[in-house]
Amino acid sequence: MTISLRRPIPLLDNEVLRTFVAIAETGNFSTAADAVFRTPSAVSMQIKKLEEQLGVILFLRDARSVSLTQHGEMLLTYARNILALSNEAVSRFIMPELAGVVRLGAPDDIGERLLPSILKSFSESYPGIMVDVTVDMSINLKKRMEEQRLDLALINCSTKPFPTEGEIIYTERLVWAGAKCGTAYRRDPLPISIWEDGCIWRSDAITKLEQNGRPFRIAFLSAHTMAQRAAVVSDLAIAPFPRSYITDDMRILGTNEGLPDLTSFDIRLLTASQMTDPIRAVANSIREAFVEIARVAA
């Protein structure tokens, strides 16, 4: 591409860069279009114009997905930096008071599955607020809140040990998860993957198995849902998981496999007694994220 020295280099449009980043992160034009509130055809037109402006191909397209070219990978780094600086500059003028550190606690499953996307979206809207995350068991997070070592905490709750505390922001059902085409559920005693006392998933699973007289053994003991998931998909054990945690390499097991139904649990939001504007901003962002999660799951 030849650029005349008599004319300035064309400027990149932040809205187009935002669309470009969305496509790069989702690997799909239609999904990215939903994320930036545009039609797929409008998104395609934006990328076409961007490629013409830069004189390079940014994406390799096939029938199912898109991937970045070498030029696309180079632009992605610049695009993220440009958008971050733009967000930071704007926030200094329109919400200069929203700055500081917010201490947020969450259990492992939420920290792994949900928090990254929630915090990524939050940081784009409020770049002046830094969120420090502590991942721990719900019972320990509650203690940290009581000791004022956290400003906010998401906890998993059944009727015990937190029957009334916090704000319920999501309710989900526990199910038995097994490997797709697996046989672990047929073994006797039943191999299960859980964590230690204090985990509400453990409590419900063991109580129901004992009530139904199903012999079991704890075959895999881990505080991390990623490790528990590995045990399940490897067909070493089955595990009590939230319904939304079931992926294509798993299957839901139930009464047809001789397993008792499990109950639902609440995700609750605990907030500090003294709420600052940054803490309120993080709390509201979490609430909005779970409203969207509930809408998609409905």
In three-state form (DSSP H/G/I as H, E/B as E, the rest C), the secondary structure along 156-208 is: EECCCCCCCCCEEEEEEEEEEEEECCCCHHHCCCEEEEECCCCCHHHHHHHHH
Which pLDDT does position 189 carry in this prediction?
Answer: 96
Note the pLDDT of residue 163.
Answer: 52
pLDDT tens, 174-202?
999 999 999 999 999 999 998 877 677 88
For all residues of the chain together, what is the average pLDDT?
88
Q: Report residue 112's pLDDT band, with 50, 70 and 90 as the boundaries.
A: confident
Whether the per-residue pLDDT at 161 is higher than 60: the answer is no
Q: Are 268 and 157 in contact (CB under 8 A)?
A: yes
- The CATH class for the domain spanning 171-265 reads alpha beta
Domain 14-94, what fold?
Arc Repressor Mutant, subunit A (1.10.10)
Q: Which range among 5-9, 31-35, 264-268 shows the weakest confidence by mean pLDDT? A: 5-9
Instruction: Please check the confidence at residue 259 and state whether its pLDDT lies above 70.
Output: yes
pLDDT value at residue 96: 62
Average pLDDT rounded to a whole number, residues 11-33: 90
pLDDT at 214 over 90: yes
> pLDDT confidence of 4, banded at 50, 70, 90?
low
Query: Looking at the predicted structure, is the pLDDT value of residue 7 above 70?
Result: no
Q: Is the dihedral of CA 133, 136, 138, 141 positive or negative?
A: negative
Contact 286, 154 (CB under 8 A): yes
Residue 62 pLDDT class (50, 70, 90 cuts) = confident
Range with the poorest average pLDDT among 34-43, 152-161, 236-245, 286-295: 152-161
Q: What is the pTM of this model?
A: 0.70
Report the pLDDT value the prediction gives residue 294, as an integer from 0 to 100.
Answer: 83
* pLDDT of 114 strictly over 80: yes
93 or 237, greater pLDDT: 237
Q: Which residue has the higher pLDDT, 3 or 173?
A: 173
Q: Mean pLDDT check: name the lowest of 96-100, 241-245, 276-280.
A: 96-100
- At residue 255, the pLDDT reads 92
CB-based contacts of 143, cutoff 8 Å, min separation 6 = none
Rounded to whole angstroms, how far apart are CA atoms 262 and 274?
37
Residue among 48, 49, 21 at smallest CA distance from 36: 21
| Range scoring the smallest mean pLDDT among 58-67, 71-80, 133-142, 258-267 | 58-67
Domain ranges of the chain: 14-94, 100-165+269-297, 171-265
What's the pLDDT score for residue 6? 60
Q: Is the Cβ–Cβ distance between 85 and 79 less than 8 Å?
A: no
CATH architecture group of domain 100-165+269-297: 3-Layer(aba) Sandwich (3.40)
Print burial letters for 103-142: b (CB count within 10 Å at least 16), e (below 16). Answer: bbbbbbbbbbebbeebbeebbeebbbbebeeebbbbbbbb
Whether the per-residue pLDDT at 237 is higher than 90: the answer is yes
Confidence tier at 169 by pLDDT (50, 70, 90): very high
**Topology alike, domains 14-94 and 100-165+269-297:** no
